[in-house]
Chains A and B, each alone.
Chain A
Amino acid sequence: MNFWMRLKSDRIAVLCMILLFSVVLLGIFAPLIAPHDPLEPNIKFKFADNSLEYPLGTDQLGRCVLSRLLYGIKTTVVLSLLTMGATLFIGTFLGIVAGFSRGKVDEAIMRLCDVLLSFPSEVMILAIVGMLGPGLTNVVIANIAAKWAWYTRMIRSLVMEYTDKNYIRFAKVAGCSSSHIMRKHLLPGVLGDVIVLATLDTGWVILTISSLSFLGLGVQAPTPEWGMMLSEAKNIMTTHPAQMLPPGIAIMVVVAAFNFLGDSIRDALDPKGDQTKAVVK
């Protein structure tokens, strides 16, 4: 059984993938699906209850909560995926360079990582956003800047671990090219481990973007974003606590889906998983 078959036979993984895929689709087609303009205030209908016209009701300015939630996907989920992708790309590239060269280049990259890693990542993100000013692009930049060092380290140590394996030694001895070793042995091994971390971390990035918006440093006021919506709902928590539910649940479900998917990918990547399942069956 290969990786995809193993992943497909895992019900939780399939469920998570369907869920995340449809969330992304909903985000992309939000302008077509959303019943209302997410920015259009309608003070007459503020705090409206669930109805056919407003499936999730309206917020304190009378905007449709469902529409805001749908438009928020683009900012929250898509941006976090973008952040993760960029981090992973930088991390993999520098990690493999460092792990393979092992000389002065390695030293230089590692000491730079040490410097960056000596700040707590939350403080680092706040500092960078503070310097660059609040805004969506800056939040993404700050997240990448805070995370790449950690990934570079991780991938470098994985590369070094893999290059010490006998099968890579054998491939070198047998005269396989470096690109063959990279493609067949190193990348599948390293990426397999890293993708698990990445899916788990995507949840973390969503929370960071949301919490920065919550603090008022990320997305600016009218733009729909889940953390932002939560932040606005906080202000009227005592009078209308139900306002916090839609964005809160949306964040929770997506983060949980990413975490479960990460776990499933890890299981599916390990061919040894077959054995235990076979015994159970």
Chain B
Amino acid sequence: MLEVMDLYKSYHKGGFFSLKSRQEVLQGISFSVKAGECVGLIGESGSGKSTLSRLILGLEKTDKGEVKLEGDDIATWRKKYPGQMSAVFQDYNTSANPRFTIEEIIREPLFALQQKTELRAFILELMDKVGLSAKLLIRYPHELSGGQLQRVCLARAISTRPRIMVLDEALSSLDVYIQVQILELLRDLKRDLHLTYLFIAHDLQTITYLCDQILFLYQGRIVEQLAKGELSNAKNEYAKRLLASVITFGGQGQRVVYHKCKQIRQEVGV
């Protein structure tokens, strides 16, 4: 479905006269994502994760290389299927227009698609899905906590029933209970809507929970690409180091953590 071919991107280092000096952010990224698949992208800060996500969303132009969705470039594809691409960003503070109420925020993409019938019930359903009370609908973004706002962003992102979704560190700002809840929601959505994800994160635990494929991004290059089951086969030094830092937690450790959380959640009755 999504194909990224030999992508290069660099930015000016700044300074009017230093025309030559550029910061190379992405250097020859290639990968592909099949429909209904979830690909996790992992890498440390500054490795170019967010830049890559902006390029895939078509918010910036590539220097070299192409991003194709079902054979079309992003702009053409988006015109053909409006609302079928969606995103959740890392910084929830600027993700919602401060002048809009929560209801208006969730309604916006639907409104843009000219879906005006029975919106209210649908929005309530979405709020319920992300575990938020309907009372919040009349509030403004600054009156919500960060975790609540990020879930509003998620509700907005899934409101148009997208086929492809980019989650750029979308869960990093949430606490563990809500992370688990959202991860389960994302997995259900993937199953029900046949959703394709590009899941960007810096911690391995959330990625292994959801993703079928994991890409390791290091200094602007993809250094290792592994399927979910073969994490132990990592050959690259950086990927190994990253994996080791989690595996010391215990090979089954990640699972254990999630089951613990789930247990606690059930006990508390959330």
Contacts and interface: CB of A to CB of B under 8 A. Distances in A.
Interface of A: 165-167, 169-177, 180, 184-185, 188-189, 192, 271-272, 274-275
B112 A176 contact: yes
Contact of B99 (A175, A177, A189, A274): A189
B142 A275 contact: yes
B59 A173 contact: yes
Contact of B98 (A173, A272, A275): A272
B86 A173 contact: yes
Contact of A166 (B86, B95, B108): B95
B142 A176 contact: no
Interface string B131-148: 000000000101100000
Contacts of A172: 58-59
Majority SS at the chain A contact face: helix
18 contacts: A166-B92, A166-B94, A167-B96, A167-B105, A170-B109, A171-B108, A172-B58, A173-B86, A174-B82, A174-B85, A175-B79, A175-B83, A175-B109, A176-B112, A184-B108, A185-B97, A192-B99, A274-B140
Interface of B: 54, 57-59, 78-79, 81-87, 89, 91-92, 94-99, 105, 108-109, 112-113, 140, 142-143, 153, 156-157, 160, 166
Contacts of A192: 99
A174 B86 contact: yes
B11 to A, nearest CB: 14
Nearest to A163: B59
A93 to B, nearest CB: 22
B54 to A, nearest CB: 8
Most buried by A among B57, B85, B94, B142: B94
Contact of A173 (B87, B94, B140): B87
Contact of A170 (B81, B82, B87, B98): B87
Nearest to A2: B99
B113 A175 contact: yes
A174 B109 contact: yes
